[in-house]
Amino acid sequence: MLALSDYTLKRPPRNPIERLILAGTRSLWRIPKENLWTTDEYRRRLSAAGFADVDVQEVGAFTIPGYFFEQRRPEVRRELARIRGFVAGRLGQIIDLVACGVYRMGLAEYVLVRARKPR
């Protein structure tokens, strides 16, 4: 059984600014261009790899805004800076801001994935 969460490409960028933002996001998250898939492509690739009962659910509306706003609370920011260190804590805030931004632009989606590999 495979169970994971991931990001998918909701739609292709529509203009040079969106292409630049997506390229920056890929770089920040260390995602190779070859791994930038839509939700449907994600399903197809899992099926092609031999998985059955592939279920990929788009859940960004239930996760990304709440996560982003939770991470912005001052007490959470202080705790993350304490745990990660000041620099890594601030970098995490930038990554969270970018994740929320590309989601709100309609470029990215957050997915929950479940699939079964038959024996």
Tokens at 48, concatenated:
């092609």
Tell me the pLDDT tens digit for each residue of 24-64: 888 888 889 898 999 999 999 999 999 999 999 999 999 98
Domain ranges of the chain: 2-116
DSSP conformation class of 38:
B
Top-level class of domain 2-116: alpha beta
Average pLDDT over residues 87-99: 80
